[in-house]
């Protein structure tokens, strides 16, 4: 198990969740696409998140350099915090 | 009558949250036995989050979406769905991902967490984030329940 690949995969996946959240509200086609994956757009986002997490981990794990540092964790945490804030601000403005 | 699925969802999520708080406490001054307990807590926490995801998701699609959301959206408390529930259902998706990373770190680094400060601080920060985010989401759940009560009371007038 490669820690750096894991944190990077998590960072990208959380960023994807934020983009998919906004995208599904703004695009009926994208919303419909997610709904075809899991019978409901939220289930589609859930399934794709898990798949992306695994996929991105395997992609990043192929990299030779897996020197984990605290910087990788900060990137993940900042993505989480800003991602949450972006979602909140979007729905406050979109409501 | 409260739907048992929502009780299960809340119960499992709370178990998950406090398991990650437990990890933070165990790693503040780690020893081999404390790391082992943190690993057990991580397994419990990840199981709690994934099961909360499953039961909450089923409830959201089959019960909330069909019966509760329409009432809330037609009431003065519609913001509890359009803002609070929408934020909650999407930010929740971050937690199982973070939980999985935390569990993997604990298993990978194991007793190295005593000496490897970067890894230890990483686990503490991530676990703390899961606890705080989850706590916020639990509060949102309470707000949504209040919105439903407002909608029901409005319907009775």
Domain coordinates in residue numbering, chain B: 4-156
Partners of B126 on chain A (C-beta within 8 Å) are 73, 76-77
State whether the Cα torsion A28-B97-B143-B9 is positive or negative. Answer: positive
Looking at the complex, report in whole angstroms how far the Cα of residue A32 sits from the nearest Cα belonging to chain B: 15
CB A14 within 8 A of CB A83: yes
B70: CB partners within 8 A, 6+ apart? none
Residue B136's pLDDT band, with cuts at 50, 70 and 90, is: very high
Q: For chain B, say whether A83 makes contact (Cβ under 8 Å).
A: yes
Low-confidence ranges of chain A (pLDDT < 70): 64
What is the per-residue pLDDT for B2?
Answer: 74
Where does B80-116 have alpha helices with state H? 86-91, 94-109
Partners of B108 on chain A (C-beta within 8 Å) are 1, 3
What is the per-residue pLDDT for B157?
Answer: 52
Written as six digits, the tokens of A17 are: 């969740």
Asked if residue B152 has pLDDT above 90, the reply is no
Written as six digits, the tokens of B94 are: 């971050």
Number of domains in chain A: 1
Determine the structural domain holding residue A56 and report its residue range.
Answer: 3-94
Partners of B90 on chain A (C-beta within 8 Å) are 17-18, 21, 42, 45, 87
B33: CB partners within 8 A, 6+ apart? none
Q: Residue B93 has what DSSP assignment?
A: T
| ipTM tops 0.90 | yes
């Amino acid at each position: 198990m490669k820690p750096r690949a894991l944190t990077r995969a998590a960072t990208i996946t959380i960023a994807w969740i934020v983009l998919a959240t906004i995208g599904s509200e703004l695009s009926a086609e994208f919303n419909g696409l997610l709904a075809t994956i899991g019978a409901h757009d939220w289930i589609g986002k859930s399934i794709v998140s898990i798949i992306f997490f695994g996929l991105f981990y395997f992609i990043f794990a192929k990299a030779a350099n897996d020197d984990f540092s605290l910087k990788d964790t900060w990137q993940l945490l900042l993505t989480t915090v800003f991602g949450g804030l972006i979602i909140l601000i979007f729905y406050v403005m979109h409501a | 009558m409260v739907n048992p699925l929502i009780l299960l969802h809340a119960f499992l999520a709370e178990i998950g949250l406090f398991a990650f708080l437990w990890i933070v406490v165990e790693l503040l001054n780690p020893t081999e036995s404390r790391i082992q307990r943190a690993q057990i807590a991580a397994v419990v926490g990840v199981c709690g989050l994934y099961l909360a995801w499953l039961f909450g998701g089923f409830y959201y699609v089959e019960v909330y979406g069909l019966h509760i959301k329409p009432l809330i959206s037609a009431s003065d408390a519609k913001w509890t769905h359009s803002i609070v529930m929408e934020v909650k259902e999407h930010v929740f998706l971050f937690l199982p991902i973070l939980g999985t990373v935390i569990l993997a770190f604990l298993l990978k680094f194991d007793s190295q967490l005593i000496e490897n400060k970067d890894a230890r601080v990483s686990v503490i920060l991530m676990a703390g984030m899961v606890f705080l985010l989850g706590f916020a989401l639990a509060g949102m759940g309470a707000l949504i329940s209040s919105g439903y009560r407002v909608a029901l009371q409005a319907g009775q007038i």
